Structure 1
Amino acid sequence: MIILLKKLVRYKCFALYSMETIHRIMLLIENLVTDHRGALGGISSLYEVCESLLRQIRGGDTSEVNILLSSEVLEFFQRESTWLYNNERLLHITFYTFASLIRDHSEPRFEALKTKEIKFCRFIFDNHYNSFFKIGRDLIRLLKDNLIVPEFSYVINAIPDDVKATLMKQRTLVYCLSSRLTYDMNERLTHMLEQHSISAYKRKFDFFKTNFLSTEPRYLIADIIRWVIAAYRSNNEKAMNNRYILINFLLHEIGNNWEAIELAKMALVYDWLCFDRNCKDPNVTREGLYCIEPCIQLIVDNVKSNSLRIAKDLIETLHSSINIFPGFENEIRENVRAASQVAISYNIMTVEDIKTIRTKLSEFAGDTRIVKIVGDLWGHLMNAPPPSSSLPYLANPSQPIVMQIPSATNIQMPHQDVNQRFPASLSLPQTPQNLVQPNPLFTPSHDKPPEVADLTGPKPGTNFQNLDNQTLPTKRRDSIPFSDQPSNVPVAQVTKSHETKSIVEETSSTTRIIVPSPSNSVPVPASLWLYSNHLKNFKVASLSSNSVDETQYLRQVLGLFLNVICSRFTILIFIRIFSLLRYFLNIRV
């Protein structure tokens, strides 16, 4: 019964259920909870059913069916609060869901439902104060997004400053970020990122918008952006690099709702403020780079394509967000500078990009204010004074990813890191801090075979105190390298045919690795005489796995096949006609 109920709740067309169907599902779940209170296995499965039910509450959807579902689930958890407390994961998702839905129910007709949601969130938060700090840094963001609500304003003001600082360093639990996306929405976004080329993104996003953003999305956009940045992880480097394109489409769908725009921009720059510059775990540092990479790419590429409004707004939001916590301005400013410094060392952004941003935005704004903002954020990288804080050497430890978080007063907040992307299998020795690290890895090339690095001997480390004295890279990298540190092994670069194109062309094309054809072509065998007109020679052709020309290549193969088939059928038709003529001639004779 519970297995069938789970399939029923996770059905991708759940939004098409009628109000009567939803009411019967809730009645069945309530009866199962009442009958299986003592059965551990049954309760565990019911927790999963309730978690799936929470994910089916669509953000930004104020239709009658969705409001009924939200109201029914809320009343169920109010009655079964004791049962809810037995599962910490479901407790986190419940609070995160209803705290996010409060923003969508701001209309006067939803005032009663909004009041119930506020009271319920405050009630479970007060009863399990310590448990909710395991959610991570997005708990602070969620509370600040609802500062207009007095209950939430009181909660965030009551949290001690040292606990806030500790929470900012803790990664948000992935299942909390994923809980704001329905199953079909999650599947569509993942499929678009991993299975399609850049040229198909616009068409696929239009389909996604029609199905999931047809109603006024408003605050749902911020939740999707947080999922793309902090929760979505894939071994597909192409999908990870193209996240900023999806975010760019999402930003253009917000409309003129200034509050939703501010929430979306804060969702983009939030991880800059939380970058842990004192952490010595390179896996945590790399995770921080994954979180800030889409924002950097969005700023740089919009500046290069002369879409300066988005880049200007993001930089101003990043600068103004430094004052998000009174008394921690210097700490957060150093986090932003350290994140930029590490991004340059991994070639996500270059000094030339910063100079281009400053020049173009100053011309666009027509004043010197944006120049002062860029100078405050990244001036230490352009003017080359020594940084005020030292960043750790990025080495790959043998232990798994574990966030090192200082314990707050009377509050335990262990980090639960999930979706580890790279195994820590290679252990490199620590090196003296007085050595200077050369430029990081660039894209590999086929001009000459790369040299094999000798990992047995010591390697120079990255001395961030002397980072500004190094020759910083002027070319952006395509992805965060798999290695834990930039290598000093000379690696050639792939010759890209679109290097001189604009950024608009760059986002609509990908690199194609061209393998030259051999000088000695192979003639067509005699047994294939029929195809000699179409296949004069067999030649070697190679297409890279990430090329958008695969569709065109398949069309050419299909066209060749059809031409051959048509030619063969033409010959057969002529033979048949000739046979019929001979037959009639013989009969006539």
Structure 2
Amino acid sequence: MASSLIHKSTYEADNPLESSLIEAFRLLEPELRPPFPLTIRTEPEYFNLNRAILYGILSETHLAKVHLKHLHGIVTDGYCFFTNLVCKVVDELYSKLVENVKVQLLYVSLELVDVSAVGVDSLLVALLRQIRGGDLGESNLWLCSEMVNLLWGKWECLVEEQPMIISSALYVFLRVLSDHCRVCLNSKLKVLKQKEIEFCIRVFKDQFHLCLKIGRDLIRVLQDLVHVPEFHDLWKDLLSRSSDACQLYRSRTCSRYFLLRITPEMETHLRFLLTQVKLGSQTRYQIWFGRKFLNGPEKETVVIDIVRFICCAHHPSNDILLSNVIPRWIIVGWLLKCCTKNHIEANVKLALFYDWLFFEENVDNIMNIEPAILLMVNSVPKYIHMTHNLLEFLFLLVDHYDIDRKDLILKGVSSALDVLKRKGVVQSFDVLTCCDMLSPFLKERLVKMLSCKNVSGFNHLQPVTLA
């Protein structure tokens, strides 16, 4: 009987994807042993043989090379179907896979890179997405190490054929390095950190044009590593080159980079929360989500990535906006309340406001800046401390985020406020400028900033409970 690829409890239903692979293997097992039959197959037969071979590679370690030779001999579509099948396994099953199956999965992925399989870029992205932020477990660190080794070993090939994988990997490893560099668990982690650092530095030195593809969030993630000696001079050099820094600030980061930092499983649950859960019914879903994805001493850091995803990669339709589905700003408010460490809370606020700092109407999307303003205005008066803290943080960013380019940032924030008013996200700003519970200093700063674009007041909104 074929073995299971995944961990599952006694009463858990069979996984459809795993079942399809097992069924194909059982049906075709006699044909998976040399000598292989030389027959012309119909499309359904070809697809089923691909499934059987993949199962053989993942479950029969001792015969993996034989199965791969078989695959090379029968492939007629540039490995397209097979690669897509491996992608599905990564996306749908990775967190449940038995450890030796994960090893085989990396093995077959490396082989697909070697043959320049159609869709191998999507496969590498899928693997990068399984690197979980804030997870210092052995399995997650092993995946980090394997992916760095793969990228390093196939550097020339990837630079020439899949350059966007290099920029994607750079974004991923800059983010995970901020976790890895805050702790020193053992010699294995020390070795991994050094490999990750060397990979990132190589990208900056040899392929700087690919770094620029990331856009403004490159600076945001890099600033978390300023304390690491290898990145300190690089950071100073980048900001000292005014043209490069301004080019990055004015370049909106594509949403696919934000998807890289949350797993497909997490994305599915977040999108369900933001499209199906009704306002007032969200508490139990939030508790479940927190226990599953945020419960751990270092896992809080993934909140930074979740907020960037919510602001920049999940833009609800008009139907959702007009319904009673829980709005994005409430989820962001809840996530901020989940932060127990000051440095993480600060980075979450930066993630929330980052597009405000360089906002240009012809470049940026108003939906990226909507959650922050709605969280501030709807927190009055019940959660006034939230409004106060966010407004205070925004002005701190204006004054201190990049002193050499303060005028650019002031223009960006003013433009953001202007667009939010003109596009009707807010009707006026009276709820903030006329709020007795806010400090006079903050209100004065806000009035001055609004006057830059002649943005008018704001009608009072009914507060909504942050659960």
TM-score by length of 2: 0.75
Q: Which has the higher Rg, Structure 1 or Structure 2?
A: 1
Tell me the secondary structure at the aligned position of residue 102 of structure 1: helix
Q: Shift in Å at residue 188 of structure 1?
A: 0.9
Aligned to 1:353: 431
Choose which of 202, 224, 230 in structure 1 pairs with 2:312: 230
CA distance in 1, matches of 2:209, 2:244: 11
Aligned to 2:330: 245
CA contact (8 A) 2:329 2:372 kept: yes
Give the paired residue count.
Answer: 373
Aligned to 1:318: 394
> Does the C-alpha gap of structure 1 residues 174 and 126 become closer, same or farther in structure 2, counting only changes over 3 Å?
same
1:259-338 residue pairs with structure 2 within 5 A? 259-276=343-360, 281=362, 284=363, 287=365, 289-305=366-382, 307-322=383-398, 323-338=400-415
> RMSD of the alignment, in Å?
2.2
Q: Shift in Å at residue 380 of structure 1?
A: 5.2
Aligned to 2:445: 376
Q: What do residues 427-477 of structure 1 show as CA deviations (whole Å, max 9, x unaligned)?
A: xxxxxxxxxxxxxxxxxxxxxxxxxxxxxxxxxxxxx6xx46x7x55256x
> Does the C-alpha gap of structure 1 residues 154 and 18 become closer, same or farther in structure 2, counting only changes over 3 Å?
farther
Choose which of 99, 103, 106 in structure 2 pairs with 1:19: 99
Q: Shift in Å at residue 503 of structure 1?
A: 1.5
Residue 273 of structure 2 is aligned to residue 189 of structure 1: no
Residue 250 of structure 2 is aligned to residue 169 of structure 1: yes
Tell me the secondary structure at the aligned position of residue 170 of structure 1: coil
CA distance in 2, matches of 1:133, 1:3: 29
Q: Shift in Å at residue 32 of structure 1?
A: 3.1
CA distance in 2, matches of 1:180, 1:380: 34
CA distance in 2, matches of 1:338, 1:372: 21
CA contact (8 A) 1:57 1:69 kept: yes
Q: What do residues 510-565 of structure 1 show as CA deviations (whole Å, max 9, x unaligned)?
A: xxxxxxxxxxxxxxxxxxxxxxxxxxxxxxxxxxxxxxxxxxxxxxxxxxxxxxxx
Q: Percent identity?
A: 26
CA contact (8 A) 1:265 1:314 kept: yes
Aligned to 1:258: 342
CA distance in 2, matches of 1:48, 1:275: 31
CA contact (8 A) 2:131 2:140 kept: yes
CA distance in 1, matches of 2:415, 2:311: 19
CA contact (8 A) 2:358 2:411 kept: no
Q: What do residues 268-325 of structure 1 show as CA deviations (whole Å, max 9, x unaligned)?
A: 111111112xx5x4xx46x1x21221111111122322x2332222122211112211
> Does the C-alpha gap of structure 1 residues 6 and 344 become closer, same or farther in structure 2, counting only changes over 3 Å?
closer
AA of the residue aligned to 2:348: A
CA distance in 2, matches of 1:314, 1:380: 15
AA of the residue aligned to 1:503: P
CA contact (8 A) 1:18 1:65 kept: no
Q: What do residues 55-104 of structure 1 show as CA deviations (whole Å, max 9, x unaligned)?
A: 01111111121111111111121111112212122112111111100012
Q: Shift in Å at residue 218 of structure 1?
A: 2.4
CA distance in 2, matches of 1:156, 1:360: 40
CA distance in 2, matches of 1:215, 1:321: 29
Aligned to 2:12: none
Aligned to 2:156: 82
Aligned to 1:474: 459
Aligned to 2:122: 48
AA of the residue aligned to 1:309: H
Aligned to 1:529: none
> Does the C-alpha gap of structure 1 residues 155 and 17 become closer, same or farther in structure 2, counting only changes over 3 Å?
same
Tell me the secondary structure at the aligned position of residue 52 of structure 1: helix
Choose which of 190, 193, 202 in structure 2 pairs with 1:123: 202
CA distance in 2, matches of 1:347, 1:6: 42
Q: Shift in Å at residue 147 of structure 1?
A: 1.4
Tell me the secondary structure at the aligned position of residue 136 of structure 2: coil
Question: Which structure 1 residue ranges, 5 or more long, are not aligned?
Answer: 363-370, 388-463, 477-501, 509-589
CA contact (8 A) 2:433 2:447 kept: no
CA contact (8 A) 1:302 1:311 kept: yes
Q: What do residues 398-417 of structure 1 show as CA deviations (whole Å, max 9, x unaligned)?
A: xxxxxxxxxxxxxxxxxxxx
Structure showing greater relative contact order (alpha-carbon pairs closer than 8 Å, 6 or more residues apart): 1
Choose which of 276, 280, 286 in structure 2 pairs with 1:205: 286
Q: What do residues 96-137 of structure 1 show as CA deviations (whole Å, max 9, x unaligned)?
A: 111100012121122221121111111122111012212111
1:534-549 residue pairs with structure 2 within 5 A? none
CA distance in 1, matches of 2:255, 2:336: 22
> Does the C-alpha gap of structure 1 residues 32 and 331 become closer, same or farther in structure 2, counting only changes over 3 Å?
closer
AA of the residue aligned to 1:474: N
Question: Which structure 2 residue ranges, 5 or more long, are not aligned?
Answer: 1-81
> Does the C-alpha gap of structure 1 residues 314 and 6 become closer, same or farther in structure 2, counting only changes over 3 Å?
same
Residue 222 of structure 2 is aligned to residue 139 of structure 1: no
Aligned to 1:531: none
> Does the C-alpha gap of structure 1 residues 18 and 103 become closer, same or farther in structure 2, counting only changes over 3 Å?
farther
AA of the residue aligned to 1:270: Y
CA distance in 1, matches of 2:124, 2:135: 20
AA of the residue aligned to 2:311: I
CA distance in 1, matches of 2:120, 2:420: 44
Q: Shift in Å at residue 46 of structure 1?
A: 1.9
CA distance in 2, matches of 1:25, 1:189: 27
AA of the residue aligned to 1:50: L
1:66-77 residue pairs with structure 2 within 5 A? 66-77=140-151
Q: What do residues 362-414 of structure 1 show as CA deviations (whole Å, max 9, x unaligned)?
A: 2xxxxxxxx32432233354xxx6x3xxxxxxxxxxxxxxxxxxxxxxxxxxx
AA of the residue aligned to 1:90: I
CA distance in 2, matches of 1:339, 1:263: 20
CA contact (8 A) 1:218 1:254 kept: yes
